Chain A
Amino acid sequence: MNFKFIVEGGDFTNAGTASSHIKKMMKQLGVDSSIIKRTVVALYEAEVNIVAHAYKGEIEVDIEEDKIYIKLEDEGPGIPDITQAMQKGFSTASPKVREMGFGAGMGLPNMKANADILNVNSVVDKGTIVEITNFFKA
């Protein structure tokens, strides 16, 4: 089962719409509630990151029998130092993002905590690709 969502940079009104759709879809499919929560928390953090940092982005979701794979690809400034960005407390977020309750440098670490597999690849001045995979059974 495949889905695709477009995310606009700076559009905080609609941030979370894709995550909300995926949550409902996983519920309908009868996925364990703790796995749904882990997945949507990681996805929502990633979706907010596109809105907060990129110009635009695309989210591709592939739900298979045993796992969910999510790829978030954005056009934006990229992350110069991913290791640094993975550290709790490191953030380059704008005051606007902080007003929304984010930008405390917890997004990427929280994504890592809630994903079975997390890959982050980035090219400065081009964009970032985040891949999240969660398995339905431990």
Chain B
Amino acid sequence: MTIQDIVTHISGVIVEGEKHRIDPVECAFASDLMSDVLTINTTKRIMLITGLANTQTIRTCEMSEIKVILFVRGKKVSDEMKELAEENEMVLIETPLSMYRTSGVLFNLGLSPVY
């Protein structure tokens, strides 16, 4: 599944990393707890689905080698977060949908969970 496919199905907007629009995403993980995100152990191309929008979300993904972050519940990405994401070649997406609904839609489309 590409980032474009994801964005289309969840009324999403790419707010950073537009040039990666057709990059693939292999699986997803949904959490607001960054310590949980830091326990993920996979080499697949993961997307994090989260409602936590701050610079530590970006830092956590930098350390965890996660290149795509989808912010749910209408959470807004700050300029500082965008800068940090750009530096690390990440893609940031915003959607007004809830975490549960976003996860359900993408799961039904075949996007695998990490575990």
Question: Which A residues fall within an 8 A CB radius of B?
Answer: 12-13, 15-16, 19-20, 23, 33-34, 37, 40-41, 44-45, 48, 100-104, 106-107, 110, 113
Q: Main SS of chain A's interface residues?
A: helix
> Which A residues are in CB contact (< 8 Å) with B64?
37, 41
Once A20-B59, A37-B64 are accepted as A-B contacts, the answer to whether A44 and B38 lie under 8 Å apart by CB is yes
Q: Is the CB of A101 within 8 A of B63?
A: no
Question: Which B residues fall within an 8 A CB radius of A?
Answer: 32-39, 43, 52, 54-57, 59-60, 62-65, 80
Of A34, A41, A106, A113, chain B has the most CB atoms within 10 Å of the CB of A41
Find A104's partner among B35, B62, B63, B80 (CB 8 Å cutoff). B35
Find B34's partner among A20, A34, A102 (CB 8 Å cutoff). A102
> Which A residues are in CB contact (< 8 Å) with B60?
16, 44, 101
Taking A45-B38, A101-B57, A102-B56 as known contacts, 20 extra A-B pairs with beta carbons closer than 8 A to each other, sorted by chain A number, are A12-B54, A15-B56, A16-B59, A16-B63, A23-B62, A33-B65, A37-B64, A41-B38, A44-B38, A44-B63, A48-B56, A101-B34, A101-B60, A102-B34, A104-B33, A106-B33, A106-B35, A107-B35, A110-B35, A113-B39
In the complex formed, the residue of A with least CB distance to B55 is A13
Q: Is the CB of A100 within 8 A of B38?
A: no
How far, in angstroms, from A100 to B34 measured CA to CA in the complex?
Answer: 8
In the complex formed, the residue of B with least CB distance to A45 is B38
In the complex formed, the residue of A with least CB distance to B80 is A13
> Which A residues are in CB contact (< 8 Å) with B59?
15-16, 19-20, 44
In the complex formed, the residue of A with least CB distance to B62 is A20
